[in-house]
Structure 1
Amino acid sequence: MNFKKILFLLLTLSFYSYAQQGMSEKRDQIKDLKVAFFNSELNLSSTESDKFWPIYNTFDDKQFEIRHQKIKTYRNLMKDQILNKMKEKEASDLLSQIESTDEELYQLRKNLINNLKRVLPKIKIIKLKKAEEDFNRKLLQQYKEKNSKN
């Protein structure tokens, strides 16, 4: 391998590492905001909080992993130039994968609720669902406002 190829490879890896670090930092910032928002909305006692967050964080990490690995792959396959050339068998396989991912996310959510029933009152589990929706709506609104200024 010549020097230019090695240099290009090193720069690519450095950029990739930097991009990953940036994404990780943003995700950590969002997580911090989410913790503050949920604690406020759910009014968790310290005992509830100690039990809630390990369960929720495990769920959230797994959900993030599923969405950003599998769903990203599907989005790439559903670009017009690929989608327009897709054969029926390929479409069938992709649809099966999407259904499987949706089922995996559903089961993950179901397990979260079952685990939380052991540590939180049911009303707080319902409030969690609302808090998640409110938080996501606020985050999306801030994103839209930030992008409209640029």
Structure 2
Amino acid sequence: MKTKIILPFILLLVTSISFAQGFKDKKEKVKALKVAYITEQLDLTTEEAQKFWPIYNAFDDKQAELRHEKMKAILDRFEPGSVEKLSEKEASALLTQMETIEESLFTLRKKFIKDLQGVISAKKIIKLKKAEEDFNRHLLKQIREKRKG
């Protein structure tokens, strides 16, 4: 009797771990491709790269954390029909929370740019913004093509 209960549980656990590992592997692969793309686009010297990547990675991690916080706040509230159930006070509180996160993202980006100014030229900072947008656009295009095919 216990095996009938334990076996499906173990299968579910193994499947969940495998799926999570697969997602983590894909995330790491995308990050590696992004690093290579940005390095190539910015034409970083060895010295610049040594100073640039720790700043960039810290920024990217913090930005992802804030965006995750924002999405969690939004997704927790916006299940089908849940918007209609919000009181005006709850909606106002959610809006304030969203604004605070947006302000935090803006402040983070300003600090990031300021930190980078001591490491790479202003022109390379602008190239970075373009490289990030181009990489994301290319990634989305590949995802769309993969879904169609």
Structure 2 length-normalised TM: 0.87
Counterparts of 1:38 and 1:46, CA distance in 2: 14
Counterparts of 1:81 and 1:70, CA distance in 2: 20
Shift of 1:6: 6.1
Q: Which residue of 2 aligns with 1:59?
A: 59
Q: Deviations over 1:40-99 (max 9, x none)?
A: 110111111111111101111111122224313312312331112111111111111111
**46-55 vs 58-67, which deviates more?**
58-67
Cα distance change of structure 1 residues 5 and 114 upon mapping to structure 2, 3 Å threshold: farther
Amino acid of the residue matched to residue 95 of structure 1? L
Percent pairwise identity: 47
Counterparts of 1:4 and 1:73, CA distance in 2: 38
Q: Unpaired segments of 5 or more residues in structure 1?
A: none
Q: Which residue of 2 aligns with 1:37?
A: 37
Q: Which residue of 2 aligns with 1:27?
A: 27
Cα distance change of structure 1 residues 12 and 100 upon mapping to structure 2, 3 Å threshold: farther
Counterparts of 1:6 and 1:95, CA distance in 2: 45
Counterparts of 1:42 and 1:55, CA distance in 2: 15
Q: Deviations over 1:110-132 (max 9, x none)?
A: 11101101100110001101111
Amino acid of the residue matched to residue 137 of structure 1? R
The RMSD of aligned alpha carbons is 2.0
Counterparts of 1:86 and 1:126, CA distance in 2: 41
Counterparts of 2:91 and 2:5, CA distance in 1: 38
Q: Which residue of 1 aligns with 2:147?
A: 147
Amino acid of the residue matched to residue 107 of structure 1? T
Q: Which residue of 2 aligns with 1:105?
A: 105
Number of aligned pairs?
148
Counterparts of 2:5 and 2:106, CA distance in 1: 45
Structure 1 length-normalised TM: 0.87
Cα distance change of structure 1 residues 43 and 83 upon mapping to structure 2, 3 Å threshold: same
Cα distance change of structure 1 residues 78 and 115 upon mapping to structure 2, 3 Å threshold: same
Cα distance change of structure 1 residues 92 and 54 upon mapping to structure 2, 3 Å threshold: same
